[in-house]
Amino acid sequence: MRPCNSLKLEFLKNWIMGLQRWSFSKKEMGILERKKAIKLSADIAMASARNGTTRWSRALIANAYSKHDKHLVSKGASTEYSRRIRSKKILKRSCRRIRRRSKGLVRERTRILKNLIPGGELMNEGSLIEESLDYIVSLRAQVDVMRSLVSASEVDR
Amino acid sequence: MSSRRSRQSSAGVSRISDDQIIELVSKLRQLLPEIRDRRSDKVSASKVLQETCNYIRSLHREVDDLSERLSQLLATIDADSAEAAIIRSLIM
Protein backbone atom coordinates (compact mmCIF):
# COMPACT_ATOMS: atom_id res chain seq x y z
CA MET A 1 0.00 0.00 0.00
CA ARG A 2 2.26 2.78 -1.26
CA PRO A 3 1.27 6.33 -0.34
CA CYS A 4 -0.43 7.84 -3.37
CA ASN A 5 1.06 10.76 -5.22
CA SER A 6 -1.84 13.11 -4.51
CA LEU A 7 -1.20 12.73 -0.77
CA LYS A 8 2.49 13.47 -1.25
CA LEU A 9 1.70 16.51 -3.40
CA GLU A 10 -0.78 17.83 -0.85
CA PHE A 11 1.82 17.37 1.87
CA LEU A 12 4.57 19.06 -0.15
CA LYS A 13 2.34 22.02 -0.98
CA ASN A 14 1.31 22.52 2.66
CA TRP A 15 4.85 22.06 3.85
CA ILE A 16 6.30 24.63 1.49
CA MET A 17 3.62 27.14 2.49
CA GLY A 18 4.44 26.49 6.13
CA LEU A 19 8.18 26.87 5.55
CA GLN A 20 7.59 30.18 3.78
CA ARG A 21 5.95 31.57 6.90
CA TRP A 22 9.17 31.49 8.87
CA SER A 23 11.64 31.82 6.02
CA PHE A 24 12.33 35.44 6.86
CA SER A 25 14.14 34.35 10.01
CA LYS A 26 16.06 31.49 8.39
CA LYS A 27 19.46 33.18 8.58
CA GLU A 28 19.31 33.97 12.27
CA MET A 29 18.06 30.56 13.43
CA GLY A 30 20.36 28.02 15.04
CA ILE A 31 20.53 24.57 13.47
CA LEU A 32 18.54 22.91 16.25
CA GLU A 33 15.82 25.53 16.18
CA ARG A 34 15.57 25.31 12.41
CA LYS A 35 15.36 21.53 12.60
CA LYS A 36 12.46 21.76 15.01
CA ALA A 37 10.69 24.24 12.76
CA ILE A 38 11.23 22.02 9.71
CA LYS A 39 9.95 18.97 11.54
CA LEU A 40 6.98 20.74 13.05
CA SER A 41 5.91 22.30 9.76
CA ALA A 42 6.29 18.90 8.08
CA ASP A 43 4.09 17.23 10.71
CA ILE A 44 1.46 19.94 10.47
CA ALA A 45 1.59 19.82 6.67
CA MET A 46 1.01 16.07 6.77
CA ALA A 47 -1.88 16.41 9.20
CA SER A 48 -3.47 19.19 7.14
CA ALA A 49 -3.30 17.01 4.05
CA ARG A 50 -5.87 14.74 5.71
CA ASN A 51 -8.35 17.64 5.77
CA GLY A 52 -9.73 16.84 9.20
CA THR A 53 -10.87 13.38 8.14
CA THR A 54 -8.81 11.47 10.67
CA ARG A 55 -8.53 11.87 14.43
CA TRP A 56 -4.76 11.69 14.61
CA SER A 57 -4.45 14.61 12.19
CA ARG A 58 -6.91 16.74 14.15
CA ALA A 59 -5.13 15.90 17.41
CA LEU A 60 -1.73 16.73 15.96
CA ILE A 61 -2.90 20.16 14.76
CA ALA A 62 -4.63 20.92 18.06
CA ASN A 63 -1.54 19.90 20.06
CA ALA A 64 0.73 21.98 17.84
CA TYR A 65 -1.48 25.01 18.24
CA SER A 66 -1.64 24.73 22.01
CA LYS A 67 2.14 24.91 22.21
CA HIS A 68 4.10 28.08 21.44
CA ASP A 69 4.56 27.61 17.69
CA LYS A 70 1.25 29.25 16.90
CA HIS A 71 2.44 31.00 13.79
CA LEU A 72 2.90 27.73 11.93
CA VAL A 73 -0.75 26.74 12.16
CA SER A 74 -3.65 28.62 10.65
CA LYS A 75 -6.03 29.64 13.38
CA GLY A 76 -9.24 28.38 11.77
CA ALA A 77 -8.11 24.78 11.55
CA SER A 78 -7.10 24.45 15.16
CA THR A 79 -9.60 26.11 17.49
CA GLU A 80 -12.40 23.75 16.53
CA TYR A 81 -10.15 20.72 16.98
CA SER A 82 -8.84 22.01 20.32
CA ARG A 83 -12.34 22.46 21.64
CA ARG A 84 -13.42 18.94 20.73
CA ILE A 85 -10.28 17.38 22.07
CA ARG A 86 -10.47 19.31 25.33
CA SER A 87 -14.00 18.07 26.07
CA LYS A 88 -12.99 14.51 25.18
CA LYS A 89 -10.03 14.70 27.57
CA ILE A 90 -12.28 15.76 30.43
CA LEU A 91 -14.60 12.81 29.79
CA LYS A 92 -11.75 10.32 29.49
CA ARG A 93 -10.12 11.58 32.67
CA SER A 94 -13.18 10.59 34.66
CA CYS A 95 -13.26 7.13 33.04
CA ARG A 96 -9.60 6.53 33.75
CA ARG A 97 -10.22 5.92 37.45
CA ILE A 98 -12.56 3.03 36.68
CA ARG A 99 -10.19 1.31 34.24
CA ARG A 100 -8.30 -1.73 35.54
CA ARG A 101 -4.52 -1.89 35.36
CA SER A 102 -3.26 -3.30 32.04
CA LYS A 103 -2.51 -7.00 31.96
CA GLY A 104 -1.07 -9.06 29.15
CA LEU A 105 1.03 -8.21 26.16
CA VAL A 106 -1.87 -7.10 23.96
CA ARG A 107 -3.11 -4.58 26.50
CA GLU A 108 0.39 -3.28 27.18
CA ARG A 109 1.28 -2.91 23.51
CA THR A 110 -2.06 -1.31 22.73
CA ARG A 111 -1.21 1.23 25.40
CA ILE A 112 2.17 1.88 23.76
CA LEU A 113 0.53 2.26 20.36
CA LYS A 114 -1.93 4.74 21.84
CA ASN A 115 0.98 6.87 23.00
CA LEU A 116 2.59 6.79 19.56
CA ILE A 117 -0.43 8.00 17.61
CA PRO A 118 -1.34 11.69 18.08
CA GLY A 119 -4.53 11.82 20.11
CA GLY A 120 -4.36 8.05 20.54
CA GLU A 121 -5.01 8.12 24.27
CA LEU A 122 -8.53 9.39 23.51
CA MET A 123 -9.42 6.64 21.01
CA ASN A 124 -11.22 3.40 21.60
CA GLU A 125 -9.35 0.39 20.33
CA GLY A 126 -11.42 0.00 17.18
CA SER A 127 -10.59 3.48 15.90
CA LEU A 128 -7.02 3.09 17.07
CA ILE A 129 -6.36 0.43 14.45
CA GLU A 130 -7.89 2.44 11.61
CA GLU A 131 -6.07 5.58 12.70
CA SER A 132 -2.76 3.70 13.01
CA LEU A 133 -2.99 2.47 9.45
CA ASP A 134 -3.75 5.93 8.11
CA TYR A 135 -1.02 7.43 10.26
CA ILE A 136 1.55 4.94 8.95
CA VAL A 137 0.62 5.65 5.32
CA SER A 138 0.88 9.39 5.97
CA LEU A 139 4.21 9.04 7.74
CA ARG A 140 5.58 7.07 4.79
CA ALA A 141 4.43 9.79 2.38
CA GLN A 142 6.08 12.39 4.58
CA VAL A 143 9.33 10.41 4.73
CA ASP A 144 9.33 9.82 0.97
CA VAL A 145 8.94 13.51 0.18
CA MET A 146 11.48 14.65 2.78
CA ARG A 147 13.96 12.05 1.59
CA SER A 148 13.58 13.25 -2.03
CA LEU A 149 14.16 16.84 -0.98
CA VAL A 150 17.26 15.92 1.01
CA SER A 151 18.78 13.84 -1.79
CA ALA A 152 18.00 16.56 -4.33
CA SER A 153 19.77 19.09 -2.12
CA GLU A 154 22.73 16.82 -1.41
CA VAL A 155 23.63 16.36 -5.08
CA ASP A 156 27.27 17.21 -5.84
CA ARG A 157 28.33 17.01 -2.16
CA MET B 1 -6.04 -17.65 16.95
CA SER B 2 -3.43 -17.82 19.62
CA SER B 3 -4.56 -14.53 21.07
CA ARG B 4 -8.10 -15.66 21.83
CA ARG B 5 -8.78 -15.43 25.53
CA SER B 6 -12.01 -14.89 27.37
CA ARG B 7 -11.69 -11.62 29.19
CA GLN B 8 -14.15 -9.13 30.56
CA SER B 9 -13.91 -5.73 28.96
CA SER B 10 -13.31 -2.87 31.36
CA ALA B 11 -15.87 -0.12 31.75
CA GLY B 12 -16.38 1.84 28.52
CA VAL B 13 -13.32 0.43 26.75
CA SER B 14 -13.62 -2.58 24.42
CA ARG B 15 -10.66 -4.84 23.82
CA ILE B 16 -9.50 -5.43 20.27
CA SER B 17 -11.68 -8.18 18.78
CA ASP B 18 -10.24 -11.05 16.79
CA ASP B 19 -11.92 -9.77 13.63
CA GLN B 20 -10.19 -6.47 14.02
CA ILE B 21 -6.90 -8.25 14.51
CA ILE B 22 -7.41 -10.23 11.29
CA GLU B 23 -8.18 -7.02 9.43
CA LEU B 24 -5.18 -5.27 10.93
CA VAL B 25 -2.87 -8.14 10.07
CA SER B 26 -3.99 -8.27 6.45
CA LYS B 27 -3.48 -4.55 5.99
CA LEU B 28 -0.22 -4.44 7.89
CA ARG B 29 1.12 -7.35 5.87
CA GLN B 30 1.29 -5.01 2.92
CA LEU B 31 2.86 -2.24 4.94
CA LEU B 32 5.34 -3.95 7.21
CA PRO B 33 8.32 -5.71 5.69
CA GLU B 34 8.76 -8.08 8.65
CA ILE B 35 5.27 -9.55 8.57
CA ARG B 36 4.84 -9.74 4.80
CA ASP B 37 6.09 -13.32 4.40
CA ARG B 38 4.24 -14.88 7.32
CA ARG B 39 0.91 -16.57 7.17
CA SER B 40 -1.77 -14.72 9.05
CA ASP B 41 -2.83 -17.55 11.32
CA LYS B 42 0.62 -17.71 12.86
CA VAL B 43 0.88 -14.04 13.75
CA SER B 44 -0.35 -13.15 17.20
CA ALA B 45 -2.06 -9.90 18.13
CA SER B 46 0.77 -8.90 20.42
CA LYS B 47 3.34 -9.47 17.69
CA VAL B 48 1.37 -7.36 15.22
CA LEU B 49 1.05 -4.56 17.75
CA GLN B 50 4.74 -4.76 18.50
CA GLU B 51 5.70 -4.58 14.82
CA THR B 52 3.32 -1.66 14.34
CA CYS B 53 4.84 0.26 17.24
CA ASN B 54 8.36 -0.49 16.08
CA TYR B 55 7.57 0.63 12.56
CA ILE B 56 5.97 3.90 13.71
CA ARG B 57 8.96 4.59 15.95
CA SER B 58 11.39 3.99 13.08
CA LEU B 59 9.38 6.32 10.84
CA HIS B 60 9.47 8.98 13.57
CA ARG B 61 13.24 8.58 13.78
CA GLU B 62 13.55 8.96 10.04
CA VAL B 63 11.51 12.17 10.02
CA ASP B 64 13.69 13.47 12.82
CA ASP B 65 16.89 12.55 11.00
CA LEU B 66 15.70 14.04 7.70
CA SER B 67 14.68 17.27 9.44
CA GLU B 68 18.15 17.49 10.95
CA ARG B 69 19.84 16.98 7.59
CA LEU B 70 17.61 19.56 5.93
CA SER B 71 18.39 22.02 8.68
CA GLN B 72 22.12 21.55 8.17
CA LEU B 73 21.74 21.82 4.41
CA LEU B 74 19.88 25.09 4.66
CA ALA B 75 22.57 26.41 6.97
CA THR B 76 25.44 25.61 4.65
CA ILE B 77 23.76 26.38 1.38
CA ASP B 78 25.39 29.04 -0.68
CA ALA B 79 22.81 31.60 -1.71
CA ASP B 80 23.78 31.57 -5.40
CA SER B 81 24.45 27.87 -5.77
CA ALA B 82 22.55 25.30 -7.82
CA GLU B 83 21.05 23.79 -4.66
CA ALA B 84 19.64 27.14 -3.64
CA ALA B 85 18.07 27.43 -7.08
CA ILE B 86 16.40 24.03 -6.66
CA ILE B 87 14.93 24.95 -3.32
CA ARG B 88 13.96 28.39 -4.53
CA SER B 89 12.17 26.88 -7.54
CA LEU B 90 10.22 24.62 -5.20
CA ILE B 91 9.04 27.51 -3.11
CA MET B 92 8.07 29.79 -5.99
A97-134 burial by CB neighbour count: b if 16+ within 10 A, else e? eeeeeeeeebbebbebbbebbbbbebbebebbbbbbbb
pLDDT band for position B4 (50/70/90)?
A: very low
Mean pLDDT of chain B: 68
pLDDT band for position A63 (50/70/90)?
A: confident
Q: Does A94 touch chain B (CB under 8 A)?
A: no
Range of the structural domain that residue A103 is part of: 4-156
Closest residue of chain B to A144, computed from CA coordinates: B63
pLDDT surpasses 70 at A136: yes
Point out the residue among A35, A110, A149 whose CB comes nearest to the CB of B68.
Answer: A35
Point out the residue among B16, B23, B69 whose CB comes nearest to the CB of A150.
Answer: B69
Indicate the range of A40-49, A53-62, B7-16, B41-50 predicted with least confidence: B7-16
pLDDT surpasses 50 at A24: no
pLDDT value at position A151?
85
- Could you tell me the residue ranges of all domains in chain B? 18-91
Spatial distance between the Cα atoms of A66 and A51, rounded to a whole number of angstroms:
19
- pTM recorded for the entire structure: 0.71
Number of domain units in chain A: 1
Q: Do B66 and A100 count as a contact with CB atoms less than 8 A apart?
A: no
pLDDT value at position A1?
54
Which residues of chain A make contact with B27, given a CB cutoff of 8 A? 1, 133
Q: Do A112 and B62 count as a contact with CB atoms less than 8 A apart?
A: no
pLDDT surpasses 90 at B57: yes
